[in-house]
Chain A
């Protein structure tokens, strides 16, 4: 543009710096040899090595992975079926379902956490891995449904109709036409659900009992008990993990044209 101003570019650059600066500093300092001070004392991998020997941390990692895998499978099945089923319902009912699914995404997560905790406690269910998984499925279902639904609506109905005209049963239309076309979106949804579950703090915080510590809960308690270089290392690992999951998910989404 003729009048694009340098001022705009400067502010944008500052905004980008603002977004990435803290992450960069965090990762950088996870390699800092100094124990307590922020002064740079040379690069080291010892904080990462220390993580490998932390039994509680390894247990938390195992919990996190178990919760993420199970809740992703559950939410993908349940949420995927909603996306496929609701397409055939009358418009008003679709709106109602959409509203119900948007609600968990907009209400404050702390509220979802306390509501689930209250529910489980009133049912006398002991808080633990099971309750965390049940809760994670709740916030992942809407994500999966919305991602698959967006993709479904972009597909050309003529493809399915052609298959039906050629004598395919509705199952065959799904198996040989819809599913292959949905596959990139499906993988995208799986990766996003997995990442969100892995990163979740609040719902887990309220629904996990003492025995179900996850990585974010562990990070939280480490932060609360004092800033140490190990947290930097663990944080850097979590950042890399979720960034690669999401990068992959977005890559898959992009390919589906």
Chain B
């Protein structure tokens, strides 16, 4: 035993310093979350209060087709968003990873910068573009493609566009890390062996970048499925998503038990995706490193 313990890791300070912060997270995060879970098994009183009697009825209520439709719709929007992000994000990540090394940080910064700006404002920007007399409609009419303005805003398509716009950076980063690690010689070898373009893509590039693809898809899917602002601003009454349903149950209907049950269904979906993410990341020593 040395006379005094040397710092084995970098921090030389005692472990109890972490206590206040962890206490804060417990009180203001874990406890509220537990409260939501508990309330999801209670029921709503006549005047909106909470009746503390254990019942699974809130979860059973969610089987109603109306809720089922919203849940299914959210899954669908999030899936389409993920697919579109991949189609746009893969070429972008590939080009960045294969551009001169000194340009790469700047290009990645350009991809990430919009993400760090106000989400509400970025979503609002699409309202200007998609409006009835918005820029896209004016443009199409000026070109003579359409005679009357198209209904673009308040449609499912608008929601998906907004989601792709919001979460594209999440796709590009893990893909960039994966492509950057892909040995260009392997691609060259495939070309030399007379592989077709399609064969190079499907037999070399995609399999070798699979960890990044899985990571990117999950990172896009998670915030998409739980989004609120995008469907709220760009979607109509018919393109509601789970987040809007939660807000609606809490603030409009004031049925907190039902809102809590919806929250936990959403949380279950998200946590499944998170577990899948960590599994794929741990199997291949992680696209997280690139973040």
Spell out A's residues near B (CB within 8 Å): 1-5, 7-9, 11-12, 14-16, 18-20, 22-23, 25-26, 29, 37-39, 78-79, 81-89, 97, 100-104, 106-112, 114-119, 122, 134-135, 137-138, 141-142, 145, 152-153, 155-157, 159-161, 164-165, 170-171, 173-174, 177-178, 195, 199, 201-202, 206, 216, 219-220, 223, 227, 231-232, 235, 238-239, 242-243, 246-247, 250, 254
Q: Is A12 a contact partner of B92 (Cβ separation < 8 A)?
A: yes
Q: Which residue of B lies closest to A134 (CB)?
A: B28
Least distance between B240 CB and chain A CB atoms (Å)? 13
Nearest 3 Cβ contacts at the A-B interface = A108-B226, A85-B18, A85-B17
Q: A8-B94, A100-B30 are in contact. Are A243 and B113 (CB under 8 A)?
A: yes
Residue B16 at the A interface, CB < 8 A?
yes
Distance A228 CA – B46 CA, assembled complex (angstroms): 41
Residues of chain B contacted by A87 (CB below 8 angstroms): 9-11
B contact face: mostly helix, strand, loop, or mixed: helix
Spell out B's residues near A (CB within 8 Å): 4, 6-22, 24-25, 28-33, 35-36, 39, 88-89, 91-92, 94-96, 98, 105, 109-111, 113-114, 116-122, 124-129, 131, 133-135, 138, 164-165, 168-169, 184, 187-188, 191, 197, 200, 222-223, 225-229, 233, 242-243, 246-247, 250, 256, 259-260, 263, 266-267, 270-271, 274
Q: A25-B135, A86-B18, A87-B11 are in contact. Are A110 and B114 (CB under 8 A)?
A: no
Distance A250 CA – B106 CA, assembled complex (angstroms): 11
Distance A116 CA – B165 CA, assembled complex (angstroms): 28
Residues of chain A contacted by B250 (CB below 8 angstroms): 114, 117, 206
What would be 14 A-B contacts, judged by CB atoms less than 8 Å apart?
A: A12-B95, A82-B22, A85-B18, A100-B25, A108-B227, A115-B263, A116-B28, A138-B28, A155-B10, A156-B10, A199-B117, A201-B118, A216-B120, A238-B118
Q: A22-B125, A155-B10, A243-B116 are in contact. Are A78 and B21 (CB under 8 A)?
A: yes
Residues of chain B contacted by A14 (CB below 8 angstroms): 88
Q: Is A110 a contact partner of B228 (Cβ separation < 8 A)?
A: yes
Distance A14 CA – B260 CA, assembled complex (angstroms): 41
Q: A82-B18, A115-B35 are in contact. Are A137 and B28 (CB under 8 A)?
A: yes
Distance A173 CA – B14 CA, assembled complex (angstroms): 12
Least distance between A189 CB and chain B CB atoms (Å)? 13
Q: Which residue of B lies closest to A74 (CB)?
A: B24
Distance A156 CA – B9 CA, assembled complex (angstroms): 9
Distance A178 CA – B226 CA, assembled complex (angstroms): 39
Least distance between A251 CB and chain B CB atoms (Å)? 10
Q: Is B246 a contact partner of A114 (Cβ separation < 8 A)?
A: yes
Q: Is A164 a contact partner of B274 (Cβ separation < 8 A)?
A: no
Q: Is B22 a contact partner of A100 (Cβ separation < 8 A)?
A: yes
Q: Is A15 a contact partner of B98 (Cβ separation < 8 A)?
A: no
Q: A11-B88, A15-B88, A108-B266 are in contact. Are A174 and B13 (CB under 8 A)?
A: yes
Q: Is B91 a contact partner of A199 (Cβ separation < 8 A)?
A: no
Q: Is A157 a contact partner of B7 (Cβ separation < 8 A)?
A: yes
Distance A120 CA – B187 CA, assembled complex (angstroms): 57
